[in-house]
Amino acid sequence: MTDYVMEAKNVYKTYQIKGEKKEDYKIVEAVKDVSLLIRKGDIKLIFGPSGSGKSTFLRCMAMLDIPDKGEIYLGDQCLTQKGIDLNKARARIGFVFQHIYLFRHLTALGNVELALRKVLKLPKEEARKRALDALAEVKVTECISKYPSQLSGGQAQRVGIARALARNPDIILLDEPTSALDPELTGEVIDTLRDLAKEGTTMLIVSHEMPFAREVAEEMIFYDEGHIVETGPPSLFFNAPNTDRAKQFMTRIINRTTRE
């Protein structure tokens, strides 16, 4: 019996960016030989320059992008094996998107309820109850019957978190959950994540919210050019990272934060 929740083993992913003409395209190596182990209750935070492949890696973890090579494990089940029921596996993984992607035709409650009813096939009352609990947990009980277009960015993202949370997933993967929001709205989302952290939710977060990282992350992962450059506790990165690349990046990001 292991307490491993998820593991990535030597994962590779490249994709093509198509140019104007059919024959000119660029190959981007977004994930090059990345391995990562997550145990129950872990909170790990991936950060690094934009375009470095962090999001692609996170999507590979959720099998929303299929890795070219390498293995992804959910518990002791290998998701990259042929013949595995990926939909079942994805139902056990919560995913929160940078641009939120709520189902536009459903209310906040409907968004959270849908997968409970149609994927987990819970009876109506139980689905309703669990959806309401999840929405209460992210503190959006006052606008559960509003449509996504009527929600503020912060509310919408908290509904997005509730949608991921309600299924009681083994892990929640969050892809820059605050970076598409107005600065004054990031606080409420961060508060929600802080609450989840307190309850011991297993999370892998791509984020540049440094104060938050320092507070809740057990491990920070500096990711650049398709691979993990350095990992360590927040104290390492905030004091003296080992690699020059991480040092540079931290200096820039900290300067930016203090200037604000």
Partner 1 sequence: MGGVPLTLSISILSFFIGIAVGLPLAFIRVYEKEVGFVVDAYEKIWRGIPEIVLMLLFFFGLGPFFPFPFGNPFIVVCFVLGLRSGANQSQIYRGAIHGVGDEQMIAGTSVGFSKWRAIWHIMVPQVFTYSTPGLGSEYALLIKDSAYAYVLSLAEVMKRSIDLRYITGDVIGPYVLAALIYIVLTFPLAFSLDRWGNRRKKKIGL
The contact set with partner 1 (CB under 8 A) reads: 62, 64, 87-88, 90-93, 95, 97, 99, 101-105, 114-115, 118-120, 147-150, 163-164, 167
The residue (of 84 and 253) whose beta carbon lies closer to partner 1 is 84
CA distances from 8 to 58, 223, 248 (A): 10, 15, 27
- Measured from the CB of residue 84, what is the shortest distance to partner 1 in angstroms? 13
DSSP assignment of 93-117? EEEE-TT----TTS-HHHHHHHHHH
The residue (of 108 and 229) whose beta carbon lies closer to partner 1 is 108
- Measured from the CB of residue 116, what is the shortest distance to partner 1 in angstroms? 9
- Measured from the CB of residue 119, what is the shortest distance to partner 1 in angstroms? 4
Q: Where does residue 104 rank: exposed (0-12), middle (13-18), buried (19+ CB within 10 A)?
A: exposed
- Measured from the CB of residue 93, what is the shortest distance to partner 1 in angstroms? 8
Provide the strand spans (E) within 93-234: 93-96, 171-175, 203-206, 219-224, 227-232
- Measured from the CB of residue 136, what is the shortest distance to partner 1 in angstroms? 19
Contact 182, 16 (CB under 8 A): no
The residue (of 4 and 147) whose beta carbon lies closer to partner 1 is 147
The residue (of 88 and 252) whose beta carbon lies closer to partner 1 is 88
Q: Where does residue 71 rank: exposed (0-12), middle (13-18), buried (19+ CB within 10 A)?
A: middle
The residue (of 62 and 144) whose beta carbon lies closer to partner 1 is 62
